[in-house]
Amino acid sequence: MVKKIFLYVLLAVVSIVGIGFPIVKNPVNWYEYPLIPGLEENAKIIFFHVPTSWLTVIAFFMSTYFSIKYLRKKNIIDDAKAYTSAQLGMIFCILATVTGAVWAKFAWGSFWSWDPRQTSIFAILLIYGALFALRSAIEDEQKRATLSAVYSSIAFVTVPFFIFIMPRIMKGLHPGSADDSTAGPLVNFKMNGNMQVVFYLSLLGFTLLYAWMWDIGYRSYLLKEKIEKSEKKD
């Protein structure tokens, strides 16, 4: 209960602070964000877009971790954990894509421009889609778990190319791309103290939200399977 209240308060604070606090040219008060030339009010997306894309990747890592664990121990609970994590990853992936696309319309002029990072998130969306297509094609529980675990492990091998290599060697619009003069990861680029605090709080809040949803998700999945099995027996 305390955990839920804490999470609720944290996310509420992050949303209000992230959207509500003004952006001014020369911040004097503690609640004012600095103005980033060329971004202006659009800069606030960092508090919501980055955590969702971060969780897309984290959920994928978790899914692969439990897939490999399943392949080693053949414990069906690990499959449920991997599957639930993939489901959540898909939700966050769609959120990251949509928030990014809407933002890009105002900042870059079009919804979609095949920037390397946009390509990457699109590929991850496809991987998740393929994983669910594969799962729905197989009836047998053991076989489904094994094959989807193998597929997500193979897909995992390609993810570093998308997330870490391609955006850095190809030209793009995101910070940290090959031709970006500011260089360095997104967090360090002209973000001052209070912005960083809000950013990390938001990251923490979203991650906790994911952990909570994942916990409920896999337990309810296991219960559902159990009920379906007992219904079949009767």
Partner 1 sequence: MFKSMSALFLKDIKSELRTRYSINSLAMFIIVTISVILFSVGNEKLTPFMAGGMFWVIVFFTAMSGLSRAFVSEEERGTTMTLQLIANPDTILGGKMLYNMVLIFSMNIVTFLLYTAVFDSFIIKNPDIFFLVFSLGNIGMAVSSTIIAAIISKAGSKGTLYPVLSFPILLPLMLMLIDLTKLCMDGTTFADTQIEIFFLLCYDVLMMTASFLLFDFIWKD
Residues that bind partner 1 (CB under 8 A): 71, 119, 123-124, 126-127, 129-130, 133-134, 137-138, 142-143, 146-147, 149-151, 153-155, 157-158, 161-162, 165-166, 169-170
Phi-psi region of 11 (alpha: psi -120 to 50; beta: other; left: phi over 0): alpha
Closer to partner 1 by CB, 55 or 155: give it: 155
Contact 50, 201 (CB under 8 A): no
Instruction: Kindly state the smallest distance separating residue 60's Cβ from partner 1, in Å.
Output: 12
Instruction: Kindly state the smallest distance separating residue 218's Cβ from partner 1, in Å.
Output: 21
Instruction: Kindly state the smallest distance separating residue 163's Cβ from partner 1, in Å.
Output: 11
Contact 170, 105 (CB under 8 A): no
Indicate the helix (H) or strand (E) that contains 125.
helix 116-137
Closer to partner 1 by CB, 152 or 202: give it: 152
Contact 135, 50 (CB under 8 A): no
Closer to partner 1 by CB, 140 or 228: give it: 140
Closer to partner 1 by CB, 67 or 202: give it: 67
